[in-house]
Every structure is written in structure tokens, then in C-alpha cells.
Structure 1
């Protein structure tokens, strides 16, 4: 949560500060708890958008060739776009609450919590305003699903093939999720910045496309990856924890379908199957 807030603030700050400088400045001026601004919106976003994104991807890849990377990219794109639509309102309130302290007094919204944000947006700006920045948010959601979910599955396949690790080992899950997290960050960062600027814009601040472009590039080409360090510190550990925990839950509390019970596949058969798919030679 703190790194997510620092990432959003660094995209809006006019002065060129590092992640640590931004964090120390925020704590000094507003206290440690200010690092958790937007917590209610962040939790609602995770409970809706993130869970739907993962669930749709897991369902979708059952209907395609899971060893074909292009098929997984297609499933990830559709899953991310659909989940993004659900998460846009809470994403917008979360972004506004996170950057509110760095906005000028005339641009601050001062939402008390996520539901207060929903109420005020509908009352002051209209219902459609809840989907401000929706195109960027959905595109970002699609890229994140590709970068996290599809790349995680593809990384597992490649590591199984070239490193010859155990299929259900924690080491495999860790390095696969690490690879997915590192690939995902640069993939989504420019869209993350555009989404943030669109969601916090007002009639007198970042109101036009040219103004947004100029503001984003205020530090040169680095402007395309503003907040990169904070994003890495947020996304890479969370990706590792998320997938390692998911795999352990799957292994410990998973279930077999009825068809699997009727036609059990033991570990040896499964290894031979992987060798056939990847072109390995049987022992």
C-alpha cells in the first residue's frame, strides 16, 4: 500500500524527487499514517478487480491451448479488460485519495473513504465520471494480466524445460513469479502514468491531452517511467507472494474433477507428458 501511494504521488509531483525523498517528506509533513491514504478504496479494488481478473484468466485458459503463449495472451487480455471495467470506479477514488495531499488546495477532493468518494463523484460530476480514465485503466489491466498471469505460466513452462526443476517446487514458483513481476513493471508503467493523470485531472489541471503529455514529459524520457522504483518495490514482492501462496493453496487444498478421479494420472505419467510436450527424451 505505501509503495502504491508513493508511485501515484511521484507521477503528480512537479519537483524531481526520489522514492525515499518522497516518503520522508510525506511522513514529516503528514505523519506515517498518510502512507495509507486511500486504504478503503485500495481494499475494495483488490477484492473486486484483482480477484475477478485472476478468476477469469484461470477459467479462460481451460478453453485454449495452455502451452501456446499467444492463446494465453488472448485470454489475459480479455480477462484484464473485463476486470478493469469492474475496477475503474474504486481505482479512480483510490488514485484521487492517494494524491490529494500533493494537489493544490483548490484541486483537493478530501474524500473521507471510498463510499464517500462514490457519493460525491455521482453528486458533483455525474455517474459517468466514475469511469474517468476507463480506457487507460482497462488497457493497463490487460497488460498487467499479460505481464503477471500469462508470463507466470509461460515462465514455469520455460523453467521446467531448461532448469529441470520439480514441477510443484516452491523454487519454481518463486523464480517464475519473479520473472513475471520484473517483466510486468516496464510493460505497464507508461499507461499507469496516463491513467493517474486522467483520473486526477480537473477543469483547470491537466484538462487537455497536450497538457497531460507536456506534464508527463516534464523530466524528459524518464517521465514515461516516473515512479518506476516504487512500482518495482510494490509489484515484484506482491507478485511473488501472490503466486507462491496461490500455488501452495492449490497444492494443499485443491481438488480433482470427477473425470480425473476416473482417469487418474500419476506423477510419472505427468512427467512423461511434459517431456512429450517440450520435446524432452524419456529416461
Structure 2
């Protein structure tokens, strides 16, 4: 299994990542909505009376504007930045999938094979208890995230750049330029900004996604609902995508905001860390802000997971004799 598992997972991940990149970009833009809003009470002109102190009268608070949904955000990107903007940061996505997903997919297969029972099989494949699948997912997700964090930071920044005013945009030319600018302006440590969040999210996503897929596929085959083929792969992968989206969205929102924050020299960062970001987000926008971008997360995670596992099964079939 060794190297072949990494190659199979890497190919499937790159195909899935590139094909669903526009949905991921919309998700990132939605997760950043409202972040820069800092409501300050507006004051009416001061009232002054002879012999009295000047008094400023606060105006009634205005209701916050309704934020656009995923379709509206997608239209905004198309009209304001052009069709090519939907693939902003795609080079970072390729690098991220090459580093992060190749590592987590390959390592998961190694651990799963090592811990599998040699006697219990389902559909010809060794099976292991669910808790071992989850453990394998947690370990492989953590390692993959640590390896791929620089590409993850670059991807988030490149995807978010178009929402900024022209004077504030970073205008990265590609993932290499993004990584180079971060090192020159913010130091090497900036490449691992939000790495704790990335690792936590990757552990949650990998454990829920890969373990759910294997468990769902085994259940379908064991109960004889469908044969081992495309319909089974689609059903199991869609289930895995839904579970992964529900489990990971709060961590994903915080990760996106921490990675995207601008840190000026001599000024304190907007967020002191993940917990600070989560608390500030909930205080300013309410607890459900942690599920901001959930619809595009599901819309992206579902197709991504389906493409990932369907492609993976096809690549495995092609490479089975190698």
C-alpha cells in the first residue's frame, strides 16, 4: 500500500479540490462577512444652550444590513472581479492538496491497513472498528495539516483578496509569490499562522470524512443495498461530506479569520488566538456566526467528497496491478 496509497489519494484530492474551488472561494468570502463591522454609536449634532454644557445625542441604532447568500456572493464576484476570480488561489489549492491531502489520505490507508483484521472482510476489503478509523483519521489529519499549513494560509489570503478595497489588496501573483511575500513581510512564522486551528479542523474533517465513508460503504455492502460500484461510492461519499461539514464549520470560520487577519507592525493583532477570535465573533455577531458559510460549506463539502472518493475508487481500479 505504502507509496501507492499516497499517490492515489493525492491524484483524487487534486481533482476534487480544483473542480470545487469556486464553491470553496464563496465559502471563504461568506465566512469573512461582517468581520470588519465595528458598530459605533452615531451622534447627532451637539445641542448647545446659553450657559449650559454641550450635549451629544446618540442616534437610534440602525439594523445591520442583510448579508448576501452564496448565490448572491457568487454573482458579486462574477460582476465585480470577472469569471477568472472564481478560481482565485487555485494554485494554492493544488499545492495544499498535494501536501495536505496526499499526506492525510496516504497515512490513513497505512494506519487502516496496519490495524485491520486479517480475517474480517467486507466487499473484499479488510475492516476495522469505527473507533480505530476515527483514530487513524485524527492522526493522519493532524500530520497532513502540519505539512500543508503554508499552502492553506496562502489559499485563504488569495481567495479573500478580492473583497478588499484596491489600496489594501495584497495582489499575489500566485502561491509562490504569496508565500514569498508572507516570509519577507511577516516572517517565516506567518506560514504557520493558525496552524493549531488547521490541525484541529483537519483532524475533525479527516476523522469524520474518511471514517464515515468507510463505515457507510461497509454498511451498504453488508446489508446488500447496492453492489460495490458508482451508486454505492456516491451515497457513502455524500454522507461523509455532510457529516464532515457539520463537524468542521465552526473551526473553519475561526481558521479563515485568523489566517486572513492583517497584522501591522507595532500594532496588536486583531485576534490573540483561536479562542479570542471565536469569542469576539460570537459577541459581535452571535453564536450562529460560527456556522456562517454553512450552506456553501455543505455545497462544497458534498461535491468535493463525492468527487474525491469516486475519483479515488477509479484511480485504485486503474492502479490495482501496480
Q: TM-score, normalised to structure 1's length?
A: 0.84
Q: Number of paired residues?
A: 255
Which structure 1 residue ranges, 5 or more long, are not aligned?
257-283
Structure 2 unaligned residues grouped into runs of 5+: 1-20, 35-64, 117-126
Aligned-pair distance for 1:244?
1.6
Runs of 4+ in 1 over 6 A off after TM superposition: none
Provide closer, same or farther for how the CA distance between residues 6 and 216 of structure 1 changes in structure 2, counting only shifts above 3 A. farther
Structure number with higher relative contact order (C-alpha < 8 Å, ≥ 6 residues apart): 2
Counting only pairs closer than 5 Å after superposition, residues 122-271 of structure 1 correspond to structure 2 as: 122-166=183-227, 168-203=228-263, 206-209=270-273, 210=276, 213-215=279-281, 218-255=284-321
Local SS of the residue matching 1:158: helix
Q: Whose radius of gyration is greater, 1 or 2?
A: 2
1:81 matched to 2:142? The reply is: yes
Which residue number in structure 1 is paired with residue 14 of structure 2?
none
RMSD after superposition: 2.0
- Structure 1 residue 250 displacement after superposition: 2.1
Higher helix residue share: 1
Distance 2:242 2:77 in 1: 27
Distance 1:171 1:91, change over 3 A: same
Does structure 1 conserve the Cα–Cα contact (< 8 Å) formed by 2:134 and 2:208? no
Q: Secondary structure at the match of 1:118?
A: helix
Partner-residue secondary structure (3-state), 1:112: coil
Kindly indicate whether the alpha-carbon contact (under 8 Å) linking 1:132 and 1:199 is maintained by their aligned counterparts in 2.
yes
Q: In 1, Cα distance between the equivalents of 2:219 and 2:157?
A: 40
Alpha carbons of 1:31 and 1:106: their partners in 2 closer, same or farther (altered >3 Å)? closer
Quick one: distance in 2 between partners of 1:37 and 1:44? 14
Indicate which of 111, 121, 127 corresponds to 1:60: 111
Measure how far apart 1:211 and its partner are. 5.5
| Separation in 1, partners of 2:83, 2:167 | 25
Q: TM-score, normalised by structure 2?
A: 0.74
Residue matched to 2:23: 3
Distance 2:76 2:261 in 1: 23
2:152 match: 91
2:87 is aligned with 1:21: no
**Compared CA separation, residues 70 and 24, structure 1 to 2 (3 A):** same
Preserved contact between residue 217 and residue 223 of structure 1 (Cα < 8 Å)? no
Structure 2 residue 92 is matched with structure 1 residue 41: yes
Query: How has the CA–CA distance of structure 1 residues 164 and 207 changed in structure 2, closer, same or farther, with 3 Å as cutoff?
Result: closer
How far residue 104 of structure 1 moved from its aligned partner, in angstroms, is 4.6
> What SS does the aligned partner of 2:98 have?
helix
Is the contact made by 1:10 and 1:227 (CA closer than 8 Å) also made in structure 2? Answer: yes
CA contact (8 A) 2:254 2:290 kept: no
Shift of residue 241, structure 1, vs aligned partner: 1.7
Equivalents in 1 of 2:294, 2:321: separation in Å? 39
CA contact (8 A) 2:101 2:144 kept: yes
